[in-house]
């Protein structure tokens, strides 16, 4: 039994279709990321689970119970907003206690639970401060503590790291994953940050136009995209149109061998990630193509090359631990058949 089950969920705002027949299962203790371009439906889906948006069709289950029409405060879910939505006139301690006070729990239990979560979040020394006295990272921890203290069955996070600088974002990624795992929480996490999703998610759901285009473990979705949209949305890729020619796939870059035999006749699209290519002075018997580097952007530990094949096709190639190269040198770009992913669309 999944912790969260969404069945055929649809939502329209006037003539705009926000969600269209969405089906999704999220296992207990899983961190599920909702990814997609602006307007794809990910925030609408999150808010529907929270109870802030009422779907036109479909059902939402939390455990065995249906919550589609249950008021937000009775769902057993806690939401952490992008803006944090903290009370500026209350102290850190009172902000964290707010949800428990609304539930009218005994004062002693409130104090105990608030103290425990402030300890876990490493902000107990800040308990008497007002919100304006905190840094962005400290405010983020207070908002997360307020969500955790009510011991939710499901934690909902709406781009919680978007207001932090890059260094703190990386630090808090690991912190959020650790806390979710320590608490055994099932979490649904909306983000625009693909690296964030790949780094801490157990499941990635890619939405577009209100539809789920692909879902699965991050490594699977990244390495085995099932559509042009997913291949291009998650990171960079080289897309080559091709057609099966015996055991190979013929393209304008040359013939490619793939890990599995292609279906005869039907046109395919090949997706090859830039980091899958290897550049060297020597050719390889399989999937090796001569060309030259025409432009390079150095990114520290990695270089992004524009590599033009002698056949005329331009590729994007990433090289780890890059070294200076003479642009006039003839090189070979080689890719393993397992990294050549056929997509069944022309």
What CATH number corresponds to the domain at position 111? 3.40.50.300
Considering only 13-17, 30-34, 234-238, 341-345, which range has the smallest mean pLDDT? 341-345
Residues 111 and 206 in one domain: yes
State what percent of residues in the chain have pLDDT above 90: 58
Please say which residue of 229, 258, 281 terminates a domain: 229
Length of the chain: 346
Global pTM reads: 0.88
Phi, psi of 223 (to 5 degrees): -85, -25
Find how far residue 9's CA is from the centre of its chain.
Answer: 21
Total domains, the chain: 2
Residues 73 and 213 in one domain: yes
Residues 241 and 313 in one domain: yes
Residues 223 and 260 in one domain: no
Distance CA 327, CA 311 (A): 17
Q: What is the pLDDT of residues 48-82, one digit of tens each?
A: 999 999 999 999 999 989 999 999 988 989 888 77
CATH number at residue 278: 2.40.50.140
Residues 246 and 326 in one domain: yes
Residues 157 and 263 in one domain: no
Tokens of residue 295, six digits: 């432009």
Considering only 19-28, 78-87, 204-213, 287-296, which range has the smallest mean pLDDT? 78-87
Going by C-alpha positions, the residue among 115, 113, 160, 114 that lies closest to residue 137 is: 160
Residues 199 and 96 in one domain: yes
Tokens of residue 68, six digits: 């589609």
According to the model, what pLDDT value does residue 267 have? Answer: 87
Residues 136 and 29 in one domain: yes
According to the model, what pLDDT value does residue 101 have? Answer: 84
For 61, 67, 212, 340, the CA distances from 204, given in Å and listed in that order, are 19, 23, 10, 21
Going by pLDDT thresholds of 50, 70 and 90, the confidence category of residue 117 is confident
Name the range with the highest mean pLDDT among 57-61, 132-136, 141-145, 256-260: 57-61
Residues 257 and 196 in one domain: no
Q: Above 70 in pLDDT, residue 143?
A: yes
Going by pLDDT thresholds of 50, 70 and 90, the confidence category of residue 346 is low
Tokens of residue 74, six digits: 């009775």
According to the model, what pLDDT value does residue 145 have? Answer: 87
Distance CA 243, CA 261 (A): 12
Please say which residue of 229, 247, 273 terminates a domain: 229
Distance CA 203, CA 208 (A): 17
Residues 205 and 299 in one domain: no
Residues 304 and 242 in one domain: yes
Q: Residue 248 in 3-state DSSP?
A: strand
Question: Which residues make Cβ contacts (< 8 Å) with residue 108, sequence separation at least 6?
Answer: none
Distance CA 17, CA 318 (A): 38
Q: Residue 26 in 3-state DSSP?
A: strand
Distance CA 346, CA 341 (A): 13
Average of per-residue pLDDT across 337-342: 96
Residues 54 and 143 in one domain: yes
Please say which residue of 229, 254, 285 terminates a domain: 229
Domain hosting 267: range is: 236-343
Considering only 167-176, 240-249, 289-298, which range has the smallest mean pLDDT? 167-176
Q: Residue 8 in 3-state DSSP?
A: strand
What number of H helices and E strands is found in the chain? Answer: 8, 20
């Amino acid at each position: 039994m999944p912790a969260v089950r969404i069945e055929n969920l649809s939502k329209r705002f006037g003539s705009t279709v926000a969600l269209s027949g969405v089906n999704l299962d999220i296992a207990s203790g899983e961190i599920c990321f909702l990814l997609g371009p602006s307007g794809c439906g990910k925030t609408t889906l999150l808010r529907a689970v929270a109870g802030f948006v009422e779907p036109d069709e479909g059902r939402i289950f939390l455990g065995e119970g249906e919550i589609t029409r249950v008021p937000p405060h009775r769902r057993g879910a806690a939401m952490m907003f992008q803006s944090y939505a903290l009370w500026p006139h209350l102290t850190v301690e009172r902000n964290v206690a707010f949800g428990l006070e609304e539930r009218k729990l005994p004062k002693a239990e409130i104090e105990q639970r608030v103290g425990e979560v402030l300890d876990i979040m490493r902000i107990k020394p800040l308990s008497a401060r007002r919100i304006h006295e905190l840094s962005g990272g400290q405010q983020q921890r207070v908002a997360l503590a307020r969500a955790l203290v009510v011991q939710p069955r499901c934690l909902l996070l709406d781009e919680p790291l978007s207001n932090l600088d890059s260094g703190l974002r990386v630090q808090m990624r690991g912190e959020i994953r650790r806390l979710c795992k320590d608490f055994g929480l099932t979490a649904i996490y909306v983000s625009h940050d693909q690296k964030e999703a790949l780094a801490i998610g157990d499941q990635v759901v890619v939405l577009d136009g209100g539809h789920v285009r692909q879902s699965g473990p991050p490594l699977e979705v990244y390495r085995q995209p099932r559509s042009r949209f997913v291949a291009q949305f998650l990171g960079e890729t080289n897309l080559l149109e091709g057609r099966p020619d015996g055991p190979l796939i013929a393209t304008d870059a040359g013939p490619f061998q793939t890990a599995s035999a292609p279906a005869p006749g039907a046109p395919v699209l090949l997706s090859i990630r830039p980091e899958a290519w290897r550049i060297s002075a020597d050719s390889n018997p399989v999937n090796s193509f001569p060309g030259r580097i025409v432009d390079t952007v150095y990114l520290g530990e990695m270089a992004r090359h524009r590599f033009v094949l002698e056949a005329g096709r331009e590729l994007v190639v990433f090289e780890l631990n890059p070294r200076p190269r003479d642009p006039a040198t003839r090189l070979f770009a080689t890719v393993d058949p397992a990294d050549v992913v056929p997509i069944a669309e022309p």
